[in-house]
Amino acid sequence: MHLDNHTSQASDLLDPSIQGQAFDDKNINPEFSKKYFIESYGCAMNFSDSEIVASILAQEGFKSTTNEKEADLILLNTCSIREKAEQTVRSRLANFNKLKAKKPGVLIGVLGCMAERLKKKFLEEEKIVDIVLGPDAYRDLPNIIATAEGGQKAVNVLLSREETYADISPLRLGTNGISAFISIMRGCDNMCSFCVVPFTRGRERSRDAYSIVAEAKDLSQKGFKEVTLLGQNVDSYKWLNPETNEEVSFAQLLVMVAKVDPTMRVRFSTSHPKDITDEVMYAIRDYHNICKYIHLPVQSGSSRILKLMNRTYDQEWYKAKIDRINEIIPDCAISSDIITGFCTETEEDHQETMDIMRYSNYSLSYMFFYSERPGTLAARKYEDDVPLEVKKRRLSEVIRVQNQVAHELNKKDIGHTFEVLIEGNSKKSDQEFKGRTSQYKTVVFPKHENYKPGDYVNVKITAASPATLRGEIILS
């Protein structure tokens, strides 16, 4: 679920420039007419956080706008997972500062993962932002805005061990009214050596299970047909019920959410191979509305590289996990994240990555070349010694393998019928719908008057490309 130029497949779940939507609150003081514009980068978690921010701003009386030119407050929810993402934010900030030059009262804020690392640079040295707020400090937004309006440095990048925003009802942004994210945990304790997230998002903590179920119920009542439970490492979700002193595991949470509404699909992301349990697989097998799809990033196929990455599993162990999924849920699709050109990676290591992709039969992969992130274990311990052109060549090779694997896999679907949740018109034609199977595969098919977006429909597959299935509706 990442937006990046180096992915071969960009997730449709995320709109690259999701922006705020109008919010109508009768309690708002009519005198107050300030508007905010918010733009999000990075993972689904970040997009979900923007919905928390939107909710906090709405309570303060702010109205949203999708036109940055009419905004009084411009917020960028940033990502720092790869260098490229940081560069994009920089160029956006340059644009917003041009706007500010014409309209000096405007406040510009940087939220999210870049906040901690770049607060000094952006706020004090370059003076290109007025507000810097880290991912655990959004409740402080009203104070911070007041501070910035008073012309002072407005910054809060404190990370928390408890904050889950459990009681804040997200204001859905850029929604199609069909799919929504539910954040179930924050932070990450894994310390993969390439990853900046433990530093930008802090320690792992799980959200109150009942607040998650309540959010799912609310979405179901509003007509949503799909929820995606989000966390950096959902399988290590663990919430202790203070009343009963009983622990709720991720498998139990999945079932609790699945039971809310059997016609509402439940997805989740991301799973760490070391933590996904048989119980989770049984839940997927046993509940029709828990989608038959697991995002199980391998990162590399080489046991030596996996050790350097601190992934805590090796090639054999990962393959056994794939075998187990196939055994318990034979119709489950599996997807992955891959990094090429990690420190010391040889051609043999690279071949092993391509081998494990073939072994795992990924329906989809998000593929990146390694980009060193300041402060990470790898940046401190290993030399970033694979030349950029080699990283890029290897990336293009893994993309080729992924396309082959997905194409072969998709061809096997021809002649079979799948339940598809209709999401809207296809990109190319308003005569066609696009939707997804439980396996998260995109299907395009001619419209039929009986069906509209948000409906389930049975579609028989007639053709397959690496990224898309085509089919026709089977009327029941």
Minimum CB distance to ligand 5AD, residue 272 (Å)? 9
> For residues 227 and 210, what is the distance between their CA atoms, to the nearest angstrom?
15
* Residues lying near ligand 5AD in the complex (CB under 6 A): 2, 81-82, 194-195, 297, 299, 337, 339, 368, 370-371, 373
Minimum CB distance to ligand 5AD, residue 117 (Å)? 13
Residue (255 or 339) nearer to ligand 5AD, CB: 339
> For residues 236 and 206, what is the distance between their CA atoms, to the nearest angstrom?
9
> What are the residue ranges of helices labelled H in 337-387?
347-360, 377-381
Residue (197 or 401) nearer to ligand SF4, CB: 197
Binding partner of residue 371 among ligand 5AD, ligand SF4, none, CB under 5 to 8 Å per kind? ligand 5AD
Q: DSSP for 32-101, please give it.
A: ---EEEEEE-SSHHHHHHHHHHHHHHHHTT-EE-S-GGG-SEEEEEE--SSHHHHHHHHHHHHHHHHHHH
> For residues 190 and 10, what is the distance between their CA atoms, to the nearest angstrom?
25
Minimum CB distance to ligand 5AD, residue 346 (Å)? 18
Binding partner of residue 112 among ligand SF4, ligand 5AD, none, CB under 5 to 8 Å per kind? ligand SF4
> For residues 194 and 377, what is the distance between their CA atoms, to the nearest angstrom?
7
Q: Give every CB contact of residue 319 below 8 A, 6+ residues apart in sequence.
A: 356, 359, 360
The residue sitting closest to ligand 5AD, measured at its beta carbon, is 337
Q: Binding to ligand SF4 (CB under 6 A): which residues in 115-144? A: none
Residues in contact with ligand SF4, counted by CB under 6 A, come to a total of 13
Residue (289 or 335) nearer to ligand 5AD, CB: 335
Q: Are 228 and 222 in contact (CB under 8 A)?
A: no
Binding partner of residue 46 among ligand SF4, ligand 5AD, none, CB under 5 to 8 Å per kind? ligand SF4
- Regarding 92 and contact with ligand SF4 (CB under 6 A), the answer is no
Residue type, 30: P
- Regarding 200 and contact with ligand SF4 (CB under 6 A), the answer is yes
> For residues 263 and 189, what is the distance between their CA atoms, to the nearest angstrom?
34
Residue (45 or 141) nearer to ligand SF4, CB: 45
Alpha-carbon dihedral of residues 234, 238, 241, 244, nearest 10 degrees? 130
- Regarding 81 and contact with ligand SF4 (CB under 6 A), the answer is yes
- Regarding 405 and contact with ligand SF4 (CB under 6 A), the answer is no
Minimum CB distance to ligand 5AD, residue 13 (Å)? 14
Laid out side by side, the sheet with 265-269 consists of 179-183, 226-230, 265-269
Binding partner of residue 138 among ligand 5AD, ligand SF4, none, CB under 5 to 8 Å per kind? none
| DSSP structure class, residue 324 | H
Q: Binding to ligand SF4 (CB under 6 A): which residues in 14-53? A: 42-43, 45-46
Q: Is 28 helix (H, G, I), strand (E, B) or coil?
A: coil
Minimum CB distance to ligand 5AD, residue 113 (Å)? 11
Give the DSSP H or E segment for 156.
strand 154-156
| DSSP structure class, residue 299 | B
- Regarding 315 and contact with ligand SF4 (CB under 6 A), the answer is no
Binding partner of residue 159 among ligand 5AD, ligand SF4, none, CB under 5 to 8 Å per kind? none
Binding partner of residue 137 among ligand 5AD, ligand SF4, none, CB under 5 to 8 Å per kind? none
Minimum CB distance to ligand SF4, residue 79 (Å)? 3
- Regarding 113 and contact with ligand SF4 (CB under 6 A), the answer is yes
Residue (92 or 292) nearer to ligand SF4, CB: 92
For the four alpha carbons of 144, 112, 103 and 101, in that order, the dihedral sign comes to positive
Bond preceding residue 270 cis, omega within 30 of 0: yes
- Regarding 198 and contact with ligand SF4 (CB under 6 A), the answer is no
**One residue of 80, 156, 228, 269 binding ligand SF4 per CB under 6 A:** 80
- Regarding 230 and contact with ligand SF4 (CB under 6 A), the answer is no
